[in-house]
Structure 1
Amino acid sequence: MKLCLVITTRGNYAKVKSIIQAAENDPDVELQIIVGGGAILAKYGNIADSLTTMGVNVDRRIHFLVEGETPVTMAKSAGLAVSEFTTAFENLQPDVVMVIADRFECLSIAMTASYMNIPVAHMEGGEVSGSIDESIRHAITKLSHVHFPATQEAADRIIRMGEAPETVFPVGATSLDVIAGLDLDNLQPIMEKQASAGVGARVDLTQPYLTVIQHPVTTEYAENLEHVNQTLNAIHELGMGTIWIWPNMDAGSDGISKGIRIFREKHVDAPMHFFKSLPIEHYAPLLKNAQAIVGNSSSGIREAAFLGTPCVNIGSRQSGRDRSVNIIDVGYDKAEIKAAIQKQLDHGRYEENHMWGDGKAGPKILDVLKTFDFTIQKRICY
């Protein structure tokens, strides 16, 4: 079986690493890896070079991102991605293409494979979330031939969408596989990395600190600058050491990046360090030992719950998503954000919650794919 995995963001690698490891040890699987989009651009951390350094073979590198991070450039990037992935799939001739979650380019990948009669396997379908992401996620579900949702509730939604129950396998979140196998108490690598990567003050991680990730919300494009300013000012007033990770490549990213740059110019002595991206091997210990994760990343919903890390979730990006008790939801308001962080600091760590999986999803996915009887022609089941 020729299994094609596509990595387009820094988070994608964490979600496919356990599948890669399982496939590399399986003589019945030929692994194909395509890396593109933000994963090959320096401004988003260039994950492709890190993969090569780690010994992961990359079969194709694809450029499809149009510069600008606006709704127009995002739509044009999605169209360009269709063209580029068509060429890649024609050359590689995969038996199955794995599509992850809800990013705009993942819809392009699923559409391309479907038109070319290549079976699509979809991870993390069936979830409710905010922004355009939810619509994209469900559209990918309707193009996919086999489904690997993270929870039983998500699996039930997929079936209610008309997908055949025998095509739905709730295996858990694959990102937890990587976390489960790491030494989460070792913060030395990220302490050292501050000296050679990122910008800002060097944060002492032996003292209480926060982790912040705030992505743009595409349906609130014009407000992203003001939204991140509320977060920046709340964090600044608390005065805690903070590791801040740059936003993703969605429309509105420029607004958030602008807010961060202006803040840094005004507050050069603030105890904050900003990274473009971090590999999961560094990010997981950082998240585990933080007093809280702040922002709107899905890792505050999913990985933080698995680790018991308190989360302050800001705004609408994760609206409606299943959540554990580790989360406090707030609006885009400095006072609300600051009060919620303080409440989480007072509370401390939560009990670990395995609602998103047990850290063994990757091998389960590969076992299903190897024996699954794919039928290209789909039919709605109601």
Structure 2
Amino acid sequence: MPIFTIVAGARPNFMKIAPIIHAFQRQQEAGVAVSYRLVHTGQHYDKKMSGDFFEQLNIPEPDANLGGGGGTQAEQTAAIMVAFEKELIENRPDLVIVVGDVTSTLACSIAAKKLQIDVAHVEGGIRSGDLSMPEEINRMVTDSITDHFFTTSEIANSNLRAAGFPDDKIHFVGNTMIDTLKAQMPFFKKPEGKIFENLEAGNYFVMTMHRPANVDQEQSLKDMIDAILAGTGGLPIIFPVHPRTAKNLQAIGIQAPNLLMCEPLGYLEFNYLVKNAKGVITDSGGVTEEASVMNVPCVTLRDNTERAETIHLGTNELVGTDPKKLRPYLDKIMKGEWKQYQGIPLWDGKTAERIVEILVKSYS
């Protein structure tokens, strides 16, 4: 009987692993001899950044929690590697499944391969070309030692072929985040709290910012928020504040009656807001995918993106990190002149089924 270990650690991972777990459960219910083990690395340890997702996405409690949160990138990577190596020695699988581009993905891939255990990378092959991003290094190193790539787009396939990987390792399956989005959309719910009470559908913005280029320098953060306030016509801006952003926001002391800051939200609450927003302003790759599929205008405050399909076929536009370039994009959203979602191949809600079918067939 094949045994698979699924790794998750940071907030984006949970949306990506939930449908994979559900697909394994369906295989088991159908009488297929297959076993999986869920390992939470503990990279995100705040309840809103992690804990709520188990309940909202109907994920079982993890079989192990490695407690690898906190510290520098190197400290976190090392702590996760040490703990995951012990986990693998005690519970050796046939294959380790990692998702996305977070520290946990890199650390667990290395630990697995050094123990001669196969690795499957869900979201393999995506590239931003920006080596200043820790995520880009995580992707490149993980892909260099991966045995099975499960890709979200033809762009990712091309990246992998250009790097010399053979076609039999590349499986174009779609996007598991969209599996979760489509499955959970009927259950989206309005967040509780005073700032959400009077929101009108299509008459507010949602904003997220957490990348160092946007939030680590106080003046540039202030300039960007000033530009956003100037271009959104006084409409409410809901801003769930990432922990790394909170300190700098306090330092610059920026306030506006329509800038409505809150703690990180649960999955169902956050995507309720996105689905009903006039527009989304973000530096998150995952949010651009969700906004595109929900046909909500989205501007990305980055100079590059690893999810180019959200620009070519989705509702996303790459604005950059210069606040002066933002206004024309916001003007188009305010006028209702934004492009529409064109449909991205295989983002159909069935990606996890394809992944699990391939893995069960390969390891049975």
Normalization by structure 1: what TM-score? 0.82
Residue 298 of structure 2 corresponds to residue 311 of structure 1: yes
Cα gap change, 1:202/1:231 in structure 2, threshold over 3 Å: closer, same or farther?
A: farther
**How many Å apart are 1:58 and its aligned residue?**
1.2
2:101–2:135 CA contact under 8 A, matched in 1: yes
- Report the equivalent of 2:74: 75
Secondary structure at the aligned position of 1:102 is classed as coil
1:300–1:313 CA contact under 8 A, matched in 2: no
Question: In the TM superposition, what are the counterparts of 1:1-382 in structure 2 within 5 Å?
Answer: 1-27=2-28, 28-42=33-47, 45-48=48-51, 50-51=53-54, 54=58, 56-67=60-71, 73-129=72-128, 130=130, 131-183=133-185, 189-191=189-191, 193-194=192-193, 204-206=199-201, 208-217=203-212, 220=213, 223-237=216-230, 238=232, 239-247=234-242, 254=244, 256-262=245-251, 266-267=254-255, 269-279=257-267, 281-316=268-303, 318=305, 321-322=308-309, 323-324=311-312, 326-346=315-335, 347-348=337-338, 350-355=340-345, 357-372=347-362
363-372 vs 341-350, greater mean Cα deviation: 341-350
1:151–1:357 CA contact under 8 A, matched in 2: no
**Counterparts of 2:362 and 2:307, CA distance in 1:** 32
**Counterparts of 1:108 and 1:95, CA distance in 2:** 18
Give the partner amino acid of 1:56: P
Give the partner amino acid of 2:64: R
2:300–2:317 CA contact under 8 A, matched in 1: yes
Give the partner amino acid of 2:260: M
State the Cα RMSD in Å.
2.7
Cα gap change, 1:143/1:132 in structure 2, threshold over 3 Å: closer, same or farther?
A: same
1:172–1:358 CA contact under 8 A, matched in 2: yes
**Counterparts of 1:319 and 1:180, CA distance in 2:** 22
Q: Where does the alignment leave 5 or more consecutive residues of structure 1 unmatched?
A: 68-72, 248-252, 375-382
320-329 vs 288-297, greater mean Cα deviation: 320-329
**Counterparts of 2:182 and 2:52, CA distance in 1:** 24
Q: Deviations over 1:163-210 (max 9, x none)?
A: 2211110101111112222346x76x224x335xxxx67551435111
Secondary structure at the aligned position of 1:87 is classed as helix
**Counterparts of 1:176 and 1:320, CA distance in 2:** 14
Cα gap change, 1:11/1:153 in structure 2, threshold over 3 Å: closer, same or farther?
A: same
**Counterparts of 2:50 and 2:312, CA distance in 1:** 30
**How many Å apart are 1:136 and its aligned residue?**
2.1
Secondary structure at the aligned position of 1:315 is classed as coil
Cα gap change, 1:155/1:349 in structure 2, threshold over 3 Å: closer, same or farther?
A: closer
**How many Å apart are 1:26 and its aligned residue?**
1.8
Number of equivalences: 350
2:239–2:259 CA contact under 8 A, matched in 1: no
Secondary structure at the aligned position of 1:25 is classed as helix
**Counterparts of 1:226 and 1:214, CA distance in 2:** 15
Give the partner amino acid of 1:369: L
**How many Å apart are 1:221 and its aligned residue?**
8.9
Q: Where does the alignment leave 5 or more consecutive residues of structure 2 unmatched?
A: none
**How many Å apart are 1:89 and its aligned residue?**
1.7
Cα gap change, 1:298/1:138 in structure 2, threshold over 3 Å: closer, same or farther?
A: same
Cα gap change, 1:276/1:182 in structure 2, threshold over 3 Å: closer, same or farther?
A: closer
Secondary structure at the aligned position of 1:128 is classed as coil
1:296–1:318 CA contact under 8 A, matched in 2: no
Normalization by structure 2: what TM-score? 0.86
Give the partner amino acid of 2:262: F
Secondary structure at the aligned position of 2:82 is classed as helix
2:8–2:98 CA contact under 8 A, matched in 1: no
**Counterparts of 2:263 and 2:327, CA distance in 1:** 22
